[in-house]
A and B are shown apart, each in its own frame.
Chain A
């Protein structure tokens, strides 16, 4: 008995260690290649191979799938309209399960199949490792959705379609201050997630500038994301007039469900909250939740409605932010290719350099706004605040 108890204690220590690792990073997973669209190399000269990487299976499959579907949609539209400069776009989207290491192997695999333009990784972590791996190849890398500041740094050929995290945090604080939504706010964020931390830090900094008082900051980690009762009680006692939620929809739906009946304040989030309507058990729970996002599926503009219409028909779901980012990324590639004027006949070793150079010269009117790019890879576009009313998200038009 004594022996076995000792054995149990040793095991316990081991388990805790494993628990720590599990808390730090996403669980490692093997790459399960699931090529989307027409797979295979760009052997034919007229094919332009776009390579995407993201989680298509596993815990975060919804994000990668959205990006892939959005990109696929754009590729199909472009090919149906006759392609670009004589090129036919081909999309090969590899599964990474959200794991940075798998993303790098997926990148290598795509390069072996002759990828011409990389759509980077879906998540910041994935993209960061892909950006580092892609540095020597000089290939144009345009990530739809990796928003962490560092995720495109250190590679002059890397660009992104979405906002970076600091920009979102700052814009949120500005929006709250400029519209007089609150003067005392609480923040609830995931302290082990780059996206959440980046947003929280810049939000807090901008709040200090704008005279908004951050009265309470509560957090959680990947391992403690089920029970938020103590955090909710503390926020309630803090007298905050608004809660800023720079987190993802999964945790936000847990938070809002547990806060129902306890907290009666408006909630404000960023693009991470995208898709919350489909995740929450009862849409009444998210009534009045606001989010700052460059893409709104109910935006009346013709471009957005056309995209939403065809996407919904093809995939049976309303496109979210990630799908829109994927869609715009492919159109940005198209625009850059048009700018260079390269045709299958004139395509040579300078292709990558020409494409990268074109990125800073183009202006793309996409479903997430009109975008131009700076040399450091950042885009500038306007963000709209959305509010959830009667179970659908609509553009926020003031109090």
Chain B
């Protein structure tokens, strides 16, 4: 029983990180119809930003978090401006290849600047371990869960209640019509990239705090898993990304504990294939029939 609860908790924690990253994928896809494969590497850059601020500039953790969010948001907007904006209207495949190129560029730039040796992430979240009976919950896990919940709630409110959120939904539903209604599509897309990348910074902080060591390739695997989570939940759907992330984290940790660490990834992707076969739009994806 203890083992089960412990596994569920670590699954939730991992799942929340996936969910934070998946939100970036899903928002950008929903609005710009673009799979931003460089998103995972934005996380890596966010983590390095924290390392530089804390270790090289000797500034407090709170400043590091702020800088990291800022760096990621700016990076996201810059990537959009330099790499994706010139391709607006180009076939999806060209944009996709560009995204992969940006991903490789970021990885290799980090390799050049920070070297291949892993760097330790500073212990910026110092919370005591919570003990309930035989169950131990790390302070970091608690912080991850709490912050993710808050972020998701505010994001949902933002999308549904504010004017900018309304604009985002409008652009997502029909770009042409939105533009005719006076919504600046470019500004909306830029904002989407900024928010998505800022969420990546949040993910990078929890990822770094939980797993400590950062390498230039750190963002690749979480990026792919989070993309899976986004597709799993229904790409383009924000609640879907959250649900997909959490479920993916739970499946991964459960299979590691009860089946085999070797099979964990195969099971995760296997479940994805099953879901897509049964429900091609993902768990919460909307099926909109194309009008001719």
Name A8's closest neighbour in chain B (CB-CB): B235
* B2 CB, min distance to chain A CBs, angstroms: 9
Question: Do residues B288 and A2 form an inter-chain contact, with CB atoms below 8 A?
Answer: yes
Question: Do residues B269 and A58 form an inter-chain contact, with CB atoms below 8 A?
Answer: no
Contacting residues, chain A, for B121 (C-beta < 8 A): 281
Name A229's closest neighbour in chain B (CB-CB): B10
**Is A1 among interface residues, defined by CB-CB distance under 8 A?**
yes
**Is A4 among interface residues, defined by CB-CB distance under 8 A?**
yes
Given contacts A253-B213, A254-B213, contact A61 B116 (CB under 8 A): yes
* B92 CB, min distance to chain A CBs, angstroms: 6
Question: Do residues A250 and B235 form an inter-chain contact, with CB atoms below 8 A?
Answer: no
Whole-angstrom CA separation of A301 from B9 in the bound complex? 51
**Is B115 among interface residues, defined by CB-CB distance under 8 A?**
yes
**Is A44 among interface residues, defined by CB-CB distance under 8 A?**
no
Question: Do residues B272 and A12 form an inter-chain contact, with CB atoms below 8 A?
Answer: yes
**Is B189 among interface residues, defined by CB-CB distance under 8 A?**
no
Question: Do residues A5 and B227 form an inter-chain contact, with CB atoms below 8 A?
Answer: no
User: How big is the B interface, by class?
Assistant: 35 or more
Interface of A is mostly: helix
* B128 CB, min distance to chain A CBs, angstroms: 12
Contacting residues, chain A, for B129 (C-beta < 8 A): 261
**Is B39 among interface residues, defined by CB-CB distance under 8 A?**
no
Whole-angstrom CA separation of A218 from B262 in the bound complex? 9
Whole-angstrom CA separation of A8 from B213 in the bound complex? 31
Name A62's closest neighbour in chain B (CB-CB): B117
Question: Do residues B264 and A224 form an inter-chain contact, with CB atoms below 8 A?
Answer: yes
Partner pick for B261 among A3, A219, A254, CB 8 A cutoff: A219
Contacting residues, chain B, for A234 (C-beta < 8 A): 257
Name B272's closest neighbour in chain A (CB-CB): A12
Whole-angstrom CA separation of A1 from B92 in the bound complex? 13
Name B35's closest neighbour in chain A (CB-CB): A11
Whole-angstrom CA separation of A220 from B211 in the bound complex? 15
Mark contacts of B57-68 with chain A using CB atoms, 8 A cut-off: 1 yes-contact digit, 0 otherwise: 000000000000
**Is A257 among interface residues, defined by CB-CB distance under 8 A?**
yes
Question: Do residues B290 and A57 form an inter-chain contact, with CB atoms below 8 A?
Answer: no
* B219 CB, min distance to chain A CBs, angstroms: 11
Partner pick for B276 among A7, A9, A279, CB 8 A cutoff: A9
Within 8 A of A (CB), among B171-222: 210-213, 215-218, 220-222
Question: Do residues A5 and B261 form an inter-chain contact, with CB atoms below 8 A?
Answer: no
Name A282's closest neighbour in chain B (CB-CB): B120
**Is A60 among interface residues, defined by CB-CB distance under 8 A?**
yes
Whole-angstrom CA separation of A45 from B86 in the bound complex? 58
Question: Do residues B290 and A191 form an inter-chain contact, with CB atoms below 8 A?
Answer: no
Within 8 A of B (CB), among A2-39: 2-9, 11-13, 15-16, 19, 22-23
Contacting residues, chain B, for A16 (C-beta < 8 A): 224, 228, 269, 272
* A54 CB, min distance to chain B CBs, angstroms: 13
Whole-angstrom CA separation of A11 from B276 in the bound complex? 12
Contacting residues, chain A, for B253 (C-beta < 8 A): 229-230
Whole-angstrom CA separation of A281 from B209 in the bound complex? 12
Question: Do residues A253 and B231 form an inter-chain contact, with CB atoms below 8 A?
Answer: no
**Is B81 among interface residues, defined by CB-CB distance under 8 A?**
no
Contacting residues, chain B, for A79 (C-beta < 8 A): none
Besides the known contacts A5-B282, A229-B253, 20 further A-B residue pairs in the complex with CB atoms under 8 A apart: A2-B287, A2-B290, A5-B235, A8-B35, A16-B224, A16-B228, A59-B111, A61-B115, A62-B116, A219-B261, A221-B262, A223-B265, A224-B221, A226-B218, A230-B7, A231-B261, A250-B118, A250-B213, A253-B118, A258-B211
Residues of A within 8 A of B (CB): 1-9, 11-13, 15-16, 19, 22-23, 57-62, 191, 218-221, 223-224, 226-227, 229-231, 233-234, 237, 250, 253-254, 257-258, 261, 279-282
Q: List 28 A-B contacts (CB under 8 A).
A: A1-B236, A2-B288, A2-B289, A3-B290, A4-B92, A9-B276, A11-B96, A12-B228, A12-B272, A13-B273, A15-B224, A15-B227, A16-B228, A19-B224, A19-B265, A59-B215, A61-B117, A191-B261, A224-B261, A224-B264, A226-B211, A229-B10, A230-B257, A230-B261, A254-B211, A258-B212, A281-B121, A281-B212
